[in-house]
Amino acid sequence: LSLFLQKISYRNVSVFKSKLKTDLDVGTFWTSGTKLSLHTKPRMPPCDFTPERYKTLSYNRVLEIHKQHLSPVVTAYFQKPLLLHQGHMEWLFDFEGNRYLDFFSGVVTVSVGHCHPKVNAAAQKQLTHLWHTSTIFFHPPMHEYAEKLSALLPEPLKVIFLTNSGSEANDLAMLMARAHSNNTDIISFRGAYHGCSPYTLGLTNVGSFKMKLPSGMGCQATMCPDVFRGPWGGSHCRDSPVQTIRKCNCAPGCCQAKDQYIEQFKDTLNTAVAKSIAGFFAEPIQGVNGVVQYPKGFLKEAFQLVRQRGGVCIADEVQTGFGRLGSHFWGFQTHDVLPDIVTMAKGIGNGFPMAAVVTTPEIAKSLAKRLLHFNTFGGNPMACAIGSAVLEVIKEDSLQENSQEVGTYMLLKFAKLRDEFEIVGDVRGKGLMIGIEMVKDKMSRQPLPHEEINQIHEDCKEMGLLIGRGGIFSQTFRIAPAMCITKPEVDFAVEVFRSALIQHMERRAK
C-alpha cells in the first residue's frame, strides 16, 4: 500500500486512505500494492432484462460495410467501435451480450429510457393504424400532440411547426427571425452548436464543424460567458449546486462576471452586426461545448439588448428541454426569460426522429406571409404518437422530479472527485446534464492532452460505463443519462469514473 501511495499523485493522501477503506466496505476490491493497475471492476447494479441472442452480421462484416458504404467522417467512439444490439431503459447491450450503463443516452436523446414499454406500445399501436400521411391531410395524432405540447409552454408561445431534427428546427427558426424582423444578422455564442445544415453551420461555433466553403451567411459569434474557462467568473456565478473553484468578487444579486460579459455582448452589437438585427440564438446550457453555464442574469439582460435592436430571441432547447434540468421543464425558465421562438428535438421523441419550433402567432404570421412552409415528414403520425407517449411518461413517472433529485445527487458526488484529483478542473451542470472538464492542472486550466482523455474514456467503457465527450478541445466528459436513472446506478458510474482516474494516475506515475 505504501508503494501504491508513493506512486499516485493524490492531492491529499489521507483522503485516499479513507476512500480506500470505504471502497473495501462497499465491495470494490483491490489487489496488492505491487500490482498497481490491477483491480476488479466496480460492481454493476442488477438489471432485470435479458437481451436476445445476436444473430445478424459479424463484427468484421459490419466494419467492412461501414468502410465501403458509409460516411468516411470518423465519428465512432473508441478504438474498437461498439456494435450495439439492444437497449432497455438506461442499459445497452452489444453483440456479444456485454451490458453497459448508458450515461450519454444517444447524445442526450433518449429521454425516458431505451425502448420504454409505454412508448413501444404507442408506436406499435400506431403502426397498425397509419404510418404516414402528410400535412396535406389531417390526422388525430398530430392534433393531439400539438395540444399537449402547447399546454407545456407559456403564452404567447402557442404556434407549433413540426420538423424532423434539431438542425432543421433551428434552420426554420433562423428563417422565422429574418422574415419577422426584416433583418439579416443573427448572433450566437462561441462554442455554440445549433446544427450542421448549410444555414445552421453559421450559428455553430465549434471549429471542427466549420468549413472553408461559404455557408451560414449573416451570422456573427459573440464571446461565450464561460465562468470557468473565460476571463471572468468564479465561485458565485452560475445556477448550479456546484460552483467553480475560481475566486471572484461577486455577491448575491450582483455578479461582476455577468456585467463584464454583457459589456462584451454590447461590443458585438456595436461593432460586428448592423444596427438592426434579426435575432440571437442561445442554448440555456451549451451542450456540445461541454455543458457550459452562463452567469446568472446574463441571458435576461442579453435578451433585452437584442430586442432593443429589433431582433427576436431564440432558445435552443434541443438538449436542455423536457425536464432534463430538473428544476424546470424548459431550460429558458431557469434564466427567468421568455423567448420569442423555442426549438426542440432529441428528447422530444426519445430517439425517434422528431423536432419542433414553437413561436408566437405574430411571428408565425410573418413567416406565412413570405413562405409556403411545407415539411413532408413533419407531424408524421408515428412521430406524434411517440411524442405524446413521451410526454405522458415524463409526467406519470415523475421524470422531471427524478432529474432534479438524482441529478443533484450525482453532481455533488462527481464534485468530490474534483477535490480529489488535480486533473479534474471543473464539475458543472444542472439536473441530468453534467460536464466534467479535464485539465493538466487546476492553476493553468490547460486541457488534458487528447490521448490521455481517450484512455480514460476507454477505461470507463471497459468497466461498463458509456459517457460522452465535448468542449472545444474535446476535454470535457458529458454526462446525460436517460431521466429514469437511479441513485445506485449513479454510485456505480461515479466509482467507475474514479477507478478510471486512478488508473490514469498510475500510468502517469510509472
The pLDDT profile of the chain, 510 residues, written as one tens digit per residue, is: 333 333 333 333 333 333 333 333 333 322 222 233 445 689 999 999 999 999 999 999 999 999 999 998 878 899 899 999 999 999 999 999 999 999 999 999 999 999 999 999 999 999 999 999 988 899 999 999 999 999 999 999 999 999 999 999 999 999 999 999 999 999 999 999 999 998 999 999 998 888 877 778 899 999 999 999 999 998 889 999 999 998 887 777 788 999 999 999 999 999 999 999 999 999 999 999 999 999 999 999 999 999 999 999 999 999 999 999 999 999 999 999 999 999 999 999 999 999 999 999 999 999 999 888 889 999 999 999 999 999 999 999 999 999 999 999 999 999 999 999 999 999 999 999 999 999 999 999 999 999 999 999 999 999 999 999 999 999 999 999 999 999 999 999 999 999 999 999 999 888
Distance CA(412)–CA(391), nearest Å, equals: 28
Task: Give the long-range contacts of residues 301-306, CB within 8 A, separation 24 or more.
Answer: 301/258, 301/262, 302/262, 302/265, 303/337, 303/339, 305/262, 305/265, 305/266, 305/269, 306/187, 306/277, 306/279, 306/280
What pLDDT, in 10s, does the model give residues 319-336? 999 999 999 999 999 999
* The predicted structure's pLDDT at residue 74: 79
**Domain count across the chain:** 1
Helices (H), 276-323: 298-308
SS3 426: strand
Q: Is residue 272 part of a domain?
A: no
* The predicted structure's pLDDT at residue 39: 55
The C-alpha cell of 103 is what?
450515461
Distance CA(126)–CA(147), nearest Å, equals: 18
Comparing CA positions, the residue from 510, 166, 466 lying closest to residue 345 is: 166
Length in residues, the chain: 510
* The predicted structure's pLDDT at residue 30: 28
Per the listing, cell 461582476 goes with: 256
The C-alpha cell of 93 is what?
447491450
Q: Which residues contact 75 (CB under 8 A, 6 or more apart)?
A: none
What pLDDT, in 10s, does the model give residues 404-429? 999 999 999 999 999 999 999 999 99
Distance CA(100)–CA(92), nearest Å, equals: 5
* The predicted structure's pLDDT at residue 76: 85
Domain span at residue 439? Answer: 2-108+399-509
The C-alpha cell of 405 is what?
433529485
Q: Is residue 502 part of a domain?
A: yes
Distance CA(470)–CA(208), nearest Å, equals: 11
Letter string b/e over residues 329-357, b meaning 16 or more CB atoms within 10 A of that residue's CB: bbbbbbbebbbbbbbbbbbbbbbbbbbbb
Q: Is residue 202 part of a domain?
A: no
Q: Where are the beta strands (DSSP E) in 123-209?
A: 159-163, 186-189
In the sheet that holds 433-438, the strands lie side by side as 424-430, 433-438, 476-479, 468-470
Distance CA(52)–CA(104), nearest Å, equals: 23
What is the model's pTM? 0.91
Q: Is residue 405 part of a domain?
A: yes
Per the listing, cell 500494492 goes with: 33
Q: Is residue 160 part of a domain?
A: no
How many degrees, rounded to 5, is the angle at CA 443 between CA 437 and CA 447? Answer: 35
Please say whether the beta carbons of 477 and 467 come within 8 A.
yes
Distance CA(177)–CA(366), nearest Å, equals: 9
Beta bridge partners of 312: 279
SS3 358: strand
Q: Which residues contact 190 (CB under 8 A, 6 or more apart)?
A: 205, 221, 222, 223, 224
* The predicted structure's pLDDT at residue 3: 36
Which H or E run contains 144? helix 140-150
Q: What CATH number has the domain bearing residue 13?
A: 3.90.1150.10
Distance CA(295)–CA(274), nearest Å, equals: 26
Burial class from Cβ neighbours inside 10 Å (0-12, 13-18, 19+) for residue 70 reads exposed
Q: Is residue 49 part of a domain?
A: yes
* The predicted structure's pLDDT at residue 40: 66
Q: Is residue 205 part of a domain?
A: no
Distance CA(315)–CA(221), nearest Å, equals: 16
Q: Is residue 455 part of a domain?
A: yes
DSSP result, 61-112: HHHHHHHHHS--S----SSS---EEEEEBTEEEETT--EEEESSHHHHT-SS
The C-alpha cell of 213 is what?
466553403
Distance CA(83)–CA(63), nearest Å, equals: 10
Peptide bond into 156 cis (omega under 30): yes
